[in-house]
Amino acid sequence: MQDFMFCAPTQIFFGKTALDKLAGGVKKYGNRVLMVYGGGSIKRFGLYDKVVKIFQDNDISFMELSGVEPNPKMGLVREGIKLCRDNNLDVVLAVGGGSAIDTAKAVAAGVHYDGDIAELVGQEYFGKILPILTILTMSGSGSEMTTSTVLNNEATGVKAGFHGPDVRPRISYLNPEFTYTAPKRQIAAGVADGMSHVFESYFSNEKGAYLQARFSEAILKTLFQYGETAVKDPENYEARANVMLANTWACNGVVVKGNYVMWATHIMEHPLSAVYPNLTHGEGLACLTPPWMRWTLDEERAYRYVDFGVNVLGIDRNLPDMEIANKAIDITEDYFFNKLGMPRRLRDLGVEESRLPELAQLTMNRLNDKAISIMYKPMHYDDCLEIFKAAF
Amino acid sequence: MQDFMFCAPTQIFFGKTALDKLAGGVKKYGNRVLMVYGGGSIKRFGLYDKVVKIFQDNDISFMELSGVEPNPKMGLVREGIKLCRDNNLDVVLAVGGGSAIDTAKAVAAGVHYDGDIAELVGQEYFGKILPILTILTMSGSGSEMTTSTVLNNEATGVKAGFHGPDVRPRISYLNPEFTYTAPKRQIAAGVADGMSHVFESYFSNEKGAYLQARFSEAILKTLFQYGETAVKDPENYEARANVMLANTWACNGVVVKGNYVMWATHIMEHPLSAVYPNLTHGEGLACLTPPWMRWTLDEERAYRYVDFGVNVLGIDRNLPDMEIANKAIDITEDYFFNKLGMPRRLRDLGVEESRLPELAQLTMNRLNDKAISIMYKPMHYDDCLEIFKAAF
């Protein structure tokens, strides 16, 4: 096991009564809130009114930053920063999924930062940050408990972010019912995103992080157990609750700390979302993951696919290792496409074949030699292009 | 899944380099430390000197409260409180296992508390508490990341404690090497304690907390995988690291939050440790757990023993449920006594048969009707006595 520091201080209020604690949570930090959200869905389904009523009943004033889109934009972040500065707001509350939260995080960091928010990209930021609270309506990014934010820079076409201890939300309100009205396609994408967060460190060459591997399997088992039901039966509380919690834990450090690992499929997906800003992150991941798995699989690395196949998917341990491994990858692919109903190929997402070399190059631009050497299987330009082609 | 609040803000520095962060950690909170430890073992094995050198190199002054014994005593806590008050100390650092940490917690809480520390027992305490740091040398209690402390009140003969959000350590330094010199018997007891913490909520009637059940299995698998090696091969880093981390996670809320549960074996063990102050907590638990499991097992409750047998112990799923369940309990008992080398029966720990009714009564004194109704199988006086007798 590698040495590590773990700290995940976000306070999680989970369940049907979660919002009962909203007013008290806000008031720990102030009473002038910037509420960050996307389009009209939180208004259509009543959540906006609930939050506003809580604010009114508790003398909390608020302003709004709406219009957050998938793969959140720097421009909107700058608007939010200005709103906070001009009105001396003291808390940023995201109501939504990963994009709303990541926008809120960048706004909160930018308020006391002297330069432009784009300068923080790629940095670990220790400056003063407004307290961030979140109400989750779409689960998958894990951003409700992470120290990072990922943004699209419209000017440079790069999707990347920054991180820091106080970028982590102070309080997150997780009521599975708030996800009932999310589009099925987003629920499926969230499941794939959560699985991918786990895969990124589960497929590690650090064999001594046994507990972390078993925790990873616990999350994966939960997502395989409930993902399909969560998509097909939106008001199944048990399914939505388990998926929501699994997605939160997938990304808060528990499975990665103690491993020695460099993410791969997320690094390939970020250029996809940057070049195609309307592409759904989890769908990109679902297309890339099985081809990436097949590319990594060899005799030396089969052990972890055997763990995955046997412990998560219930494949018979007595089969030959490579057979278990291949079966496990096939089941994963089948789960994404046939059970969760996701698009199978990058071409189905509107990706153009002619741009695959550019996507591979954009991926490699984010990886130095050290990062490549840490990967489960070190990936170079030709490998990366091969995986993009297999996923196309 | 039940509604819950989860928050585990303790910063964990894990691994061989953990102490590199000690000086910085202390200085976040002050530079006058009360160091709380047990007997001479931390001096004998060099850890004391290491800590003192770090303090000297960083202009941190310290005083000492030594002599902590298993099942820590109120009297020593009062001494520590006086030391902190008289010398205006600002940080309490425990170096040891659960008893040193629980003593440190009670001292830290008592410094600013007007009454006697014994008054806090049974309470949730929100008053001002000195920051608590820990360096773990024995793993099992999980106290390095919990909000509670358990103490022996010599005057009343009751072992009980109190809890509160700030009773949780701010920073815990977990270097598995610091456990190399702990007596094998204590390592075994720690493994049994960690397993028991998981069992207490794994055996729950809340069937919708699927993720929590899988996390529980991850911890149990880890303890079954490495417990024996940790006991028999003290300098096996991988085994000690996995056991240490599993024990920490067993008790920090991850497996219990979302469940609906009232602990049973710990509630029975606390009177044992109160009546027999030299009895080792984990050994008492190991004697009580298999008889408690057999007493709870029936057709209705077999499902969780089947999960346990299949997912943790690898028993063939095709066997009849009750056969899997009984086999799982037998394997657990065998593991404690034949693999970890623990005492099998309460009589081996010096418990007298004539006092079993008293122990059952002391147990029931801590359980009201509500608590009993939440138990995996509601336990009344006669049941409790029956379990004590079976464990005798």
The verdict on B163 and B232 lying in the same domain is: no
Residue of B nearest to A18 (CA): B3
The verdict on A242 and A365 lying in the same domain is: yes
Tokens of B278: 């030299």
Count H helices and E strands in chain A, helices first: 15, 8
Tokens of A238: 């048990």
User: Which among B178, B211, B228 is the end of a domain?
Assistant: B178
Answer whether residue A161 shows pLDDT above 90: no
Q: What is the pLDDT of residue A73?
A: 86
Position B2 in a domain: no
Q: How confident is the model at residue A72 (pLDDT cuts 50, 70, 90)?
A: confident
Q: Which of B17, B172, B191, B245 to mutate to test the interface with A (most CBs of A within 10 A)?
A: B245
Answer whether residue B155 shows pLDDT above 90: no
| Nearby residues of A81 by Cβ (< 8 Å), 6 or more positions away | A107, A110, A111, A117
* pLDDT tens digits along A283-313: 999 999 999 999 999 999 999 999 999 999 9
Phi, psi of B121 (to 5 degrees): -60, 135
Q: Using an 8 Å CB-CB cutoff, list chain B residues near A211.
A: 218-219, 222, 242, 245-246, 249
User: Which among A144, A178, A212 is the end of a domain?
Assistant: A178
Computed on alpha carbons and rounded to an integer, the radius of gyration of chain A in Å comes to 20
User: CB pairs below 8 Å between A and B: how many?
Assistant: 117
Average pLDDT over residues A25-47: 94
Q: Using an 8 Å CB-CB cutoff, list chain B residues near A17.
A: 3
Answer whether residue B160 shows pLDDT above 90: no
* pLDDT tens digits along A193-222: 999 999 999 999 999 999 999 999 999 999
The pLDDT mean for chain B works out to 95
Position B6 in a domain: no
A9/B210 Cβ within 8 A: no
Average pLDDT over residues B44-67: 96
Distance CA B133, CA B142 (A): 14
**Given B7, B215, B225, which is nearest A210 (Cβ)?**
B225
B15/A238 Cβ within 8 A: no
Answer whether residue B65 shows pLDDT above 80: yes
The verdict on A362 and A214 lying in the same domain is: yes
**Given B7, B13, B249, which is nearest A12 (Cβ)?**
B7
Position A103 in a domain: yes
Picking from B337, B213, B219, B197, the residue whose alpha carbon sits closest to that of residue B267 is B197
3-state secondary structure A36-57: EECCCHHHHCCHHHHHHHHHHH
Distance CA A92, CA A169 (A): 9
Q: Using an 8 Å CB-CB cutoff, list chain A residues near B144.
A: none
Residues of A near B (CB-CB distance < 8 A)?
1-18, 21, 208, 210-211, 214-215, 217-219, 221-222, 225-226, 237-238, 241-242, 245-246, 249, 254, 257-258
Give the Cα-Cα-Cα angle A43, A46, A49 (nearest 5 degrees): 80
The verdict on B152 and B206 lying in the same domain is: no
Q: What is the pLDDT of residue B83?
A: 98
Tokens of B146: 């919990």
Residue of B nearest to A15 (CA): B3
Average pLDDT over residues B100-126: 94
* pLDDT tens digits along B232-241: 999 999 999 9
> Helix-strand-coil percent breakdown of chain B, rounded to 5?
55, 15, 30
**% of chain B exceeding 90 in pLDDT:** 91
Position B4 in a domain: no
Q: Using an 8 Å CB-CB cutoff, list chain B residues near A225.
A: 210
Residue of A nearest to B244 (CA): A211
**Given B12, B214, B238, which is nearest A1 (Cβ)?**
B238
> Which helix (H) or strand (E) covers residue B61, if one does?
strand B61-65
* pLDDT tens digits along A371-385: 999 999 999 999 999
Q: Using an 8 Å CB-CB cutoff, list chain A residues near B221.
A: 214
B217/A210 Cβ within 8 A: no
Instruction: Find out whether A96 and A105 touch, Cβ atoms under 8 Å.
Output: no
Lowest-confidence range among B4-13, B145-154, B379-388?
A: B145-154
Q: How confident is the model at residue B143 (pLDDT cuts 50, 70, 90)?
A: very high
C-beta neighbour count of A56 within 10 angstroms: 11
B210/A214 Cβ within 8 A: no
Position with higher pLDDT, B70 vs A38:
A38
Q: Which of B214, B240, B254 to mutate to test the interface with A (most CBs of A within 10 A)?
A: B214
The verdict on A21 and A128 lying in the same domain is: yes
A372: exposed, middle or buried (Cβ count in 10 Å: 0-12, 13-18, 19+): middle
Distance CA A246, CA A252 (A): 10
Distance CA B274, CA B247 (A): 23
Q: Using an 8 Å CB-CB cutoff, list chain B residues near A2.
A: 15
**Given A12, A211, A219, which is nearest B222 (Cβ)?**
A211
Phi, psi of A65 (to 5 degrees): -125, 100
Position B264 in a domain: yes
Distance CA B285, CA B283 (A): 5
| Nearby residues of A221 by Cβ (< 8 Å), 6 or more positions away | A311, A312, B214
Q: How confident is the model at residue A273 (pLDDT cuts 50, 70, 90)?
A: confident
Alpha-helix residue ranges (DSSP H) falling in B203-280: 210-232, 237-249, 265-275
To the nearest whole Å, the CA of A242 is away from the closest chain B CA by: 6
Position A5 in a domain: no
To the nearest whole Å, the CA of A359 is away from the closest chain B CA by: 36
Give how far Cα A204 sits from Cα of A4, A209, A210, A263, A372, Å: 15, 9, 11, 10, 13
The verdict on A256 and A306 lying in the same domain is: yes
Picking from B236, B46, B198, the residue whose alpha carbon sits closest to that of residue B135 is B46
The verdict on B163 and B192 lying in the same domain is: no
A17/B5 Cβ within 8 A: no
The verdict on A308 and A269 lying in the same domain is: yes
A10/B7 Cβ within 8 A: yes
Q: Using an 8 Å CB-CB cutoff, list chain B residues near A18.
A: 3
| Nearby residues of B381 by Cβ (< 8 Å), 6 or more positions away | B360, B361, B364
Answer whether residue B331 shows pLDDT above 90: yes
Lowest-confidence range among B278-282, B341-345, B387-391?
A: B278-282
To the nearest whole Å, the CA of A318 is away from the closest chain B CA by: 13
Domain total of chain B: 2
To the nearest whole Å, the CA of B222 is away from the closest chain A CA by: 6
The verdict on B82 and B220 lying in the same domain is: no
Phi, psi of B185 (to 5 degrees): -60, -35
Amino acid at position B66, single letter: S
Distance CA B190, CA A177 (A): 40
Give how far Cα B259 sits from Cα of A55, B69, B198, B375, Å: 31, 33, 12, 11
CATH number at residue B107: 3.40.50.1970
B238/A208 Cβ within 8 A: yes
B5/A21 Cβ within 8 A: yes
Distance CA A169, CA A94 (A): 10
Distance CA A314, CA A226 (A): 15
Answer whether residue B32 shows pLDDT above 90: yes
Position B87 in a domain: yes
Segments forming the whole domain that contains residue A113: 11-178
Instruction: Find out whether B230 and B183 touch, Cβ atoms under 8 Å.
Output: no
Q: What is the pLDDT of residue B73?
A: 86
Give how far Cα A288 sits from Cα of A256, A275, A383, B291, B331, Å: 21, 16, 13, 51, 43
The verdict on A90 and A223 lying in the same domain is: no
Answer whether residue B287 shows pLDDT above 80: yes
Distance CA A150, CA A101 (A): 10
Q: Which of A211, A216, A229, A238 to mutate to test the interface with B (most CBs of B within 10 A)?
A: A211
The verdict on B205 and B165 lying in the same domain is: no
Give how far Cα A366 sits from Cα of A122, A159, A263, A370, Å: 10, 11, 11, 11
Tokens of B106: 């009670």
User: Which among B162, B178, B194 is the end of a domain?
Assistant: B178
B5/A7 Cβ within 8 A: no
To the nearest whole Å, the CA of A188 is away from the closest chain B CA by: 18
Phi, psi of A122 (to 5 degrees): 85, -5
Phi, psi of B224 (to 5 degrees): -70, -35
The pLDDT mean for chain A works out to 95
Position A156 in a domain: yes
CATH number at residue B304: 1.20.1090.10
ipTM for the predicted complex comes to: 0.96
The verdict on A41 and A161 lying in the same domain is: yes
Q: Using an 8 Å CB-CB cutoff, list chain A residues near B3.
A: 14-18
Phi, psi of B159 (to 5 degrees): -100, 110
